[in-house]
Amino acid sequence: MDKIYDLDIARNTIKKFCAYQERSQKQVRERLQKMGLIEDAINLLISECIQENYLNEERFARAFVRGKHKIKKWGRKRLELELKKHEVSDYVMRKAMSEIDDDSYDDQLQELAEKRWNSVTEPNRFKKGKKVVDYLLRRGYESSAVWEVVHSFINQSPESDE
């Protein structure tokens, strides 16, 4: 990205950046640093964006959780990890995580497990179960819930154990 020496150009660019989709303060700070702005100018522009409501940490976190949970089907642990990477405060993180309904969360875990169970071609049901567990853990679901769901598939499966 080209270096920007005019604060007004940087201000307009960053407002468009924030208006396009919800952004975290970390994303905005990194973008401004790539523009070559000094730290004082970066802090000034971030505070302006917050005052003018272009930048809102809670709104970002809620949108992030809703989107990643519904579209990418991420679990709570993965969502928390990713929000920490965006340097979202614990308080805001808890508020954002409340967007996830427990019943729909459990249904989504069950649906993902079933879909993955049917797509894995491993003949040994225990190895198949391990592959499904690994997949769901990578998605960020809690291990106790994952094992509970996968055990039900293993116990229902009439396949050979060879």
Which pLDDT tens digits describe the chain residue by residue (162 residues)? 667 668 899 999 999 999 999 999 999 999 999 998 999 999 999 999 999 999 999 999 999 999 999 999 999 999 999 999 999 999 999 999 998 999 999 999 999 999 999 999 989 989 999 999 999 999 999 999 999 999 998 888 775 555
Which are the contacts of 29, defined by CB distance < 8 A and separation ≥ 6?
Answer: 42, 46
Which residues have a Cβ under 8 Å from the Cβ of 123 and sit 6 or more positions away?
Answer: 159, 160, 162
Specify the 3-state DSSP secondary structure of 11: helix
